[in-house]
Structure 1
Amino acid sequence: MDSPPQPPSQDPSPEEPVAVVRAPHEPILTLPTALTAYVVLLAVIHLRVLLPPELENWTIDVFGFIPKRYDASLANLQIPGGTGAKVWTFVTYSLLHANLTHLAFNVLWLLPFGSALARRFGAVRFFVFLAVTAAAGALAHLVTHEHAVVPMIGASASVSGAMAAAIRFAFVRGSFLSFSRSDADTAAKVPAQPLLQALRDKRIVGFLVVWFALNIIFGVGAIGVEGDSAGVAWEAHIGGFFAGLLLFALFDPVPRVRSDAADASSQDISSGI
């Protein structure tokens, strides 16, 4: 007897292609457009070193920050730039650098912290923040070097401000210095801790101690990037740092985390949960 016909098999043929979904790989370091533009600007401005020496020195005198410029007792002192330079040099000095080593040092420190900050703030807030922290650094330098005639240049005050602002959220769970880091955009936009709460975080306190110690050591030792005759303007660094730490909330568009939630997050991270 013939056996009845069997229904066709529903099993997929082994030859059928199978789609494989791969998890996207995030680059180790991706720079937001605002930070890239800032770094390019610094590099382009540094091409001034190709100018004849007289013209290069003129650009430093006009756009560098010279405390002596504000000395009322020296009204007849001829410093290039005139009255206008008393205003714009509070920011323009931060766009000038002594040499490639000076420029590279500041850019390397800015990349991780500035990247997170640019993603969080957006371009406009980011650029204004850099200008404000640069001005704060210049003010601190002016207060401590009111009769100095040597121009101060470099983005270190802005870099310090960016570092200070970034640590307000860097150690929060999911951010870029936490153990449970999210992708770059998410990590940059986690709610920040309130300032007083942040200053009770042992990791942030440790960061502050190391940062201040390094600045004081380098400043007192007069270890400069321009050679033996140059010193580190560590007072400007501290001015920019405090401005970034204290003014962060004025620029931050991300809603703040509540104190009780911040306490719970801190405890979870400390216990390894």
Structure 2
Amino acid sequence: MNQSNEEHQGPDGPYFHRPAREPMFNLPTVVVGLSLILIGIHLVRAYILSPNEEVQTLLLFAFWPVRYVSGFMAQYSWPGETASAVWSFLTYGFLHGSAEHIGFNVLWMAVFGSAVARRFGATRFLLLSAVCAIAGAGAHLATNWGDQVPVIGASAAVSGQMAASLRFIFEAGGPMSSFRRHDTHAYAVPARPLLEALSDRRVLTFILVWFGLNFLFGVWSAPIAGEGVSIAWQAHVGGFVAGLILFPLLDPIKRRWS
């Protein structure tokens, strides 16, 4: 993101300079690129793959907790065998069950992921997203051992992005603070330690509402129509917790101590 100054002309020449605000939809390239990849994969699955190819795609790349039950792989043949049991901890995040499903994830990534991408840069942003997706799969596996319903969606990664953004967006001068800045410096404000950040009523309220909504999703969760897969709230929680914990390890901005 580049900041420019607007020069205003008066009768005797320029009389002040004001920082020009960036366009609202000037999203980081990495967020746009990742969103297009997710959308492209979904369109290929929806309009190009045959029903049999779609089933094979889910077997190869969705996350199936049942695969990790002792003796399962020795008893059943599975596309990709052991390799797909490893990469599916990440690849499930590239699959979505419907246009609404992917739309929500892309929307929240545009809002919260963009803030993290502007602060972290592309490489750290992608690393955070990948580790949060893996953490989400691990959390779902731990709480749904042997479940035969596959899990898909980028929600765990996006939840991690949300959590990471909470570590700095409400700080003084941050992009969502009361006295916010409108330039790149808004995304470079020093962050407080986690326990101190949790004392901020805005951060705590966001987290409580977020966990409450995910609890409701868990109570009323059901397989996605036409796909036979479900969105797991435990994966969301795993990704969110990972984002909170990983933030200081990946944050390129020196932390503020009080």
Report if TM-score (shorter chain) is over 0.5: yes
- Contact 1:219–1:231 under 8 Å retained in 2: no
How does 1:100-179 map onto structure 2 within 5 Å? 100-179=99-178
Gaps of 5+ in 2: 1-10
Distance 1:62 1:245 in 2: 30
Give the corresponding residue for 1:38. 34
Distance 1:83 1:229 in 2: 23
Q: What is the Cα deviation at residue 226 of structure 1?
A: 3.9
- Secondary structure of 1:29's partner? coil
Write the deviation string for residues 47-100 of structure 1: whole angstroms up to 9, x where unpaired.
Answer: 222211110111111001011111113221222221101111110000111111
Write the deviation string for residues 185-228 of structure 1: whole angstroms up to 9, x where unpaired.
Answer: 22111111111101111111111110000000111111565479
Structure having the higher strand fraction is 2
Gaps of 5+ in 1: 1-15, 260-273
- Secondary structure of 2:81's partner? coil
Sort the Cα spacing of 1:134 and 1:228 in 2 relative to 1 into closer, same or farther, 3 A.
closer
- Contact 1:136–1:243 under 8 Å retained in 2: yes
Give the corresponding residue for 1:67. 65
Give the corresponding residue for 2:8. none
- Which one has the largest radius of gyration? 1
- Secondary structure of 1:84's partner? helix
Give the corresponding residue for 1:79. 78
Count how many residue pairs are aligned between Structure 1 and Structure 2: 244
- Contact 1:224–1:232 under 8 Å retained in 2: yes
- Contact 1:116–1:184 under 8 Å retained in 2: no
1:183 equivalenced with 2:182 (yes/no): yes
Of the structure 1 ranges 63-72 and 224-233, higher mean CA displacement relative to structure 2 is found in: 224-233
Distance 1:143 1:38 in 2: 28
- Contact 1:102–1:226 under 8 Å retained in 2: no
1:49 equivalenced with 2:46 (yes/no): yes
Distance 2:166 2:225 in 1: 29
Match for residue 22 of structure 2 among 23, 26, 35 = 26
Runs (4 or more) in structure 1 with deviation over 6 Å come to none
Distance 2:65 2:177 in 1: 41
- Contact 2:64–2:149 under 8 Å retained in 1: yes
TM normalised by structure 1 equals 0.84
- Contact 1:102–1:225 under 8 Å retained in 2: no
- Contact 2:152–2:230 under 8 Å retained in 1: no
